Structure 1
Amino acid sequence: MNVDLFDFDLPGERIALRPAAPRDAARMLVVDADGMRDRVVSDLPDALRSGDLLVFNDTRVIPARLEGTRGQARIGATLHKREGPRRWRAFVRNAKRLREGDVIDFGAGVTAGVDAREEDGSLALDFLGDEPVELLLERAGQMPLPPYIAGKRATDARDRDDYQTMFAREAGAVAAPTAALHFTPDLLARLEAAGIAHATLTLHVGAGTFLPVKAEDTDDHRMHAEWGRIDAATADRLNAIRARGGRVIAVGTTSLRLIESATGEDDLVRPFEGDTRIFITPGYRFRGIDGLMTNFHLPRSTLFMLISALMGLEGMQAAYAHAIEHGYRFYSYGDASLLLPGAAR
């Protein structure tokens, strides 16, 4: 499909620079077969059915943005995929000043050697020394806010909490699964009281999620890889929910992509561990999920293509036009949408 079909104009003032407070006070646009309704996230127990199950991504964002030097050159690096105990693939600013074998000094006693360059322009960085890389990043790294936020304000201490979900447990993401940022312990308790259960899986979100689609046709786009895991108990639970007539609602496109990667043509979810490059565009048949809660995405992005596959391109164009007209806040710290291909109630 032509990538231009997924373009739209977004006024700059619609991009959220801070999350709603409290988190579940964010607005939520419900889109289903009955149309569109303006709600707030705290209304979620009333927007779903008893017997439904929400699936969260329990990945934890690491402070993956680093600033350093190589000689007199200033170098910026954003880690995006772990390749070994001390080796990370990174997108690097001023990479033209680097050659294989160079050492970057990130300060605070943190250094890394430069290795192979990939076709996407990223470099492999091998962190030097004996300390765990996690400790090095805590000492020298900053939270990797998306470029559309970081380009408008500096990262600060608030982002250490704001850019982490309440489910964050498995360290390894360099971008937050932002739909889950809206959840609070109180909201989760209210959902459970309404008969709406939840489960978790792990997908370490990479910085590639923010890369624009540069190809003119979706067939020519090379999707980035991300590592994920669904254990056997979780797979069995998702299958049991659907067998009982409940719906599996992915919270975030990361949860959705991993579930779909683990689901066979027989619509059964199986245990999964490894990389996924799944790229979902209109025409795809969803096999493992029945709905999606997600934030509002960038134009021409793989994520806008994914939701267009779920709800139809015209439906999403109409929903986004409504959201822009009615002042919804977009992107990682923005408002939410609840997308249900069937009627909500």
Structure 2
Amino acid sequence: MPNWYSQHRFNQIPPTGLVLPSSGAEPAAPVTFELWGDTASGRAKWRTSGGSWTAFDDVADGAVTNAKIAAGAGISLSKLATDPLSRSNHTGTQPASTISDFQAQVRANRLDQFATPGADLNAGGYRWINVGAPQGPNDAARLADVQAAAAGISVKPAVRAGTLANVTLTGLQTIDGVTLQAGDRVLVKAQTNAADNGLYTAAAGAWARTTDQLAPNTFVFVSEGTTLAETGWAISTNGAITPGTTPISWAQFAGGGGGGAGAGLAQNGANLDVVAADTSITVNPDSITVGLVPIAKGGTGATTAAAARAALGVGGSFAAALPALTPGVWANVVHGLGTEDVTEPSFRDATTKEHVRLDSKTIDANTIAVRADIAVAAGAVRMVVTS
């Protein structure tokens, strides 16, 4: 067959039996769009304008678009630039309803595995049931715990005022600085006849006992009053109580400094104040200062030892080891007795205990000078002087 050196038209007549030239090696001197059957790979190829051979069933990089992929085409994930199944590649939100086991997985977690609440918990009117017994001061209490703690305890509505002494149980009088009004609840606790003690309702006429049932461990709080404001009181009487017959005793358990003012104290409302009998004690807002205690109360009325001795009419004494003495040189010794009227000092050898003789003279109210004719080591001689 002759070689063609010019283009031929087939006039839309399809050639039959056309077979591409094939070989295991690339054709020599290929041209763009030349066709070749690669027997090494078993694929038909064409020459690209870039100078490479591409199989007919290959597509150039970046040329694959969504429109070119057939519906239902099986594409390996390894061929995709981004793995759609990887959680790290997900963005946006995913409704819980689209996760098949979301609720099951959440409900499988215990409450103690969740983060600590940052606000109050609302049970929506429902109860917490099967709660364990509380162990610490901040644990929730069960109804049984509350009932056990309150067993035998009866807290009554607060009264407006409480009595401090025996009163006439009639009329709108003033109790502990509180002018009563009809209907006010009053704690009566200091009657001469203890059987009259109890809880009453004030009235313009005779007072009547309240309807509160009184028994041991009955508690009541006082709201107002110069002395009893904000104090708590409890019946200390044991056994059954018949109002008007059983003597009733009340004991303070809260407020007002406990059981009231004791010796040396004064009660001022809910406060207890220290009472100073004289200026030897100064009561400050948050402390007590002891001042000069007079001789009549066992003190000296003085702030220095010398002044104390003078006030008491007694002399003082001073004893100490002498410093080193240089022959013929006066050395001052401070005795601090605060007076020149002192006795002549006495001296003794610190080792042999023998008394020795040294010259001495008074310098001032607190100082004596000492002199020796020979050298004396420090501490070798002790001196005693009295006033």
TM-score (norm 1): 0.17
Structure with bigger RCO (C-alpha 8 Å, 6+ apart): 1
TM-score (norm 2): 0.16
Rg (Cα) greater in structure:
2
